[in-house]
Amino acid sequence: MTDQKPLFKAPYDIKDVSALFAIVAFVLIISAIVGNNVFGLFQDSFNFG
């Protein structure tokens, strides 16, 4: 076992991870805004008492 791999070497590039995180965060923000608007329209169209 002369060519041991380092134990804590990251198997990913930090740029890839940050780009993926940015895409996921952007999708979640957009879906939250759209969902809030749709729920507002749903509340306006139905009378809850």
Q: What is the pLDDT of residues 9-20, one digit of tens each?
A: 667 777 788 889
The pLDDT value recorded for residue 45 is: 80
17: its two tokens = 């991870």
Q: Which helix (H) or strand (E) covers residue 15, if one does?
A: helix 14-45
The pLDDT value recorded for residue 15 is: 79
Least confident of 2-6, 17-21, 40-44: 2-6
> What's the whole-number average pLDDT of the chain?
81
| Closest residue by Cα to residue 21 from 10, 11, 9, 13 | 13
